[in-house]
Amino acid sequence: MSDHSFPDPAVLAFDGGSTKTDAVLVSSTGSVLGRARVGPSNHQLVGLEGMIRSLGEAVAAVAEDAHLPDRTVPVCTTGVYCLAGVDLPVDEQKIAPAIGDMGWTDGVILRNDTFAVSRAGTTAPWGVGVVCGTGMNCAAVGPDGRTVRFPALAELSGDFAPGGAWLGLRALGLALRAGDGRGATTTLSELVPAHLGEPDAEAVLTGIYTGAIPYARLFELARVLLDAAADGDALARQAADTLADEVAAFVRAAVDRLGLKDEPVEVVLGGGIFDTRDTAFHERVAAGVHEAAPGARLVRLDAPPVLGAALIGLDSIGAPPSALAALRRALTISPGS
């Protein structure tokens, strides 16, 4: 730029998901020049054209927020696109060229969004990240730069307890089975319909079947089940334990594949499921992780994942530690905020 009073943009970073896309433009010293949030960019939901449209809206919005002088693309040299739905090599093969053709950045670093979660919580460029919200995924980077990821396509890819969606469905299933005699008694028989304003679990089923109750509301029942587990419901406890074991299984597989068993690896936990008050769930996750890697340090993510995407970009250009620290201070969410 000719105006040297304005820091040169160095990294344009995205965290794109199924409900929203966050973008941030940063300088090589870690200054935040612009931020934006637009709609979803998961190509599995909005298609490739919808993904490009959302990313384009984010580019325009972040450039406007940064008050960039009139200029054509590229906005900067390094673009980091951490996007939900980048699960398999075939996804990369069609998404990377589509993004590259837009010319928003000179270079394109394409990752699954779980890598952004991991990097947002680690003090070093390597570590393990697990996202457990509506769905679940895990990504890891070793000290030598090798990576591990999982398809995360629910039961299709062998995920036997894939996050809050599964847990919510299990809550309704347990309530129904208790009512029709197939299962044991559970407080979920009352808690599930009460949460959705229905008289009983069968009415919930009918509402979901007819569309009177949006299917997505089932995902709210994950928290209902975890609360029931915390309060001592045996069937809810079994389901919560199954999910905790699945979290640990992801971490164990990543640790084994990268040879991190004896390393002080940071394991970042992100996603709404980890907000539960069910202490037994947290304890079971921790026990499973430490069985896989005794020296592991669990980190509950308290920063937006787009921070991780931006840090990946700064790592790639060899930015100094002071820049990484400055960016983390600028973007980290204070506890309770």
Strand order in the sheet with 147-149: 147-149, 136-141, 127-132, 266-270, 297-300
| Helices of type H across the chain | 43-65, 89-102, 113-121, 163-180, 188-196, 201-210, 221-230, 234-258, 279-292, 305-316, 321-331
Q: Is 266 a residue whose pLDDT tops 90?
A: yes
Q: Is 52 a residue whose pLDDT tops 50?
A: yes
The secondary structure of residue 278, as a DSSP letter, is -
Q: Which residue has the higher pLDDT, 154 or 123?
A: 123
**What is the DSSP code string of 40-66?**
---HHHHHHHHHHHHHHHHHHHHHHHT
Which tokens is 128 given? 């393990």
- Res 299: pLDDT: 96
Which tokens is 102 given? 């837009």
Over residues 11-34, the mean pLDDT reads 95
Which tokens is 288 given? 């499973």
The model's confidence at residue 80, banded by pLDDT at 50, 70 and 90, is: very high
Q: Is 2 a residue whose pLDDT tops 60?
A: no
- Res 304: pLDDT: 94
Q: Is 314 a residue whose pLDDT tops 90?
A: yes
- Res 1: pLDDT: 38
Lowest mean pLDDT among 52-61, 62-71, 79-88, 138-147: 62-71
The model's confidence at residue 3, banded by pLDDT at 50, 70 and 90, is: very low
Q: Which residue has the higher pLDDT, 11 or 3?
A: 11
| C-alpha dist (Å) from residue 252 to 139, 245, 276 | 12, 10, 22
pTM of the model: 0.88
How big is the chain by its Cα radius of gyration, in Å? Answer: 21
Over residues 294-313, the mean pLDDT reads 96
- Res 5: pLDDT: 56
Over residues 236-243, the mean pLDDT reads 97
**Rounded CA gap, 22 and 18, in Å?**
11
Over residues 42-67, the mean pLDDT reads 94
Q: Is 285 a residue whose pLDDT tops 70?
A: yes
Over residues 76-100, the mean pLDDT reads 95
pLDDT tens, residue by residue, 144-173: 999 999 988 888 888 888 899 999 999 999
Under 8 Å between Cβ of 53 and 79 = no
Which uninterrupted H or E stretch holds 21?
strand 21-27
- Res 213: pLDDT: 96
Strand order in the sheet with 76-83: 32-38, 21-27, 9-16, 76-83, 105-112
User: What does pLDDT average to over the chain?
Assistant: 93
**Rounded CA gap, 155 and 327, in Å?**
38
- Res 240: pLDDT: 97
Under 8 Å between Cβ of 218 and 165 = yes
Half-sphere exposure of 244 (CA within 13 A, CB side): 23
Residue % of the chain over a pLDDT of 90: 87
Which tokens is 139 given? 């990504």
Over residues 62-75, the mean pLDDT reads 84
**What domains are defined for the chain?**
9-116+302-331 (3.30.420.40)
**Rounded CA gap, 201 and 191, in Å?**
9
- Res 72: pLDDT: 65
> Could you tell me the maximum CA-CA distance found in the chain, to the nearest angstrom?
75
Q: Is 334 a residue whose pLDDT tops 70?
A: no
Under 8 Å between Cβ of 9 and 75 = yes
Over residues 40-53, the mean pLDDT reads 94
Q: Are strands 266-270 and 297-300 parallel, antiparallel or unpaired?
A: parallel
Q: Is 51 a residue whose pLDDT tops 90?
A: yes
Name the residue among 242, 235, 243 with its Cα closest to residue 174: 235
Q: Is 4 a residue whose pLDDT tops 80?
A: no
**Cis preceding-peptide flag for 89 (omega within 30 of 0):** no
Q: Is 100 a residue whose pLDDT tops 50?
A: yes
The model's confidence at residue 184, banded by pLDDT at 50, 70 and 90, is: very high
Name the residue among 240, 243, 290 with its Cα closest to residue 267: 290
Name the residue among 225, 313, 217, 309 with its Cα closest to residue 270: 309
The model's confidence at residue 333, banded by pLDDT at 50, 70 and 90, is: low
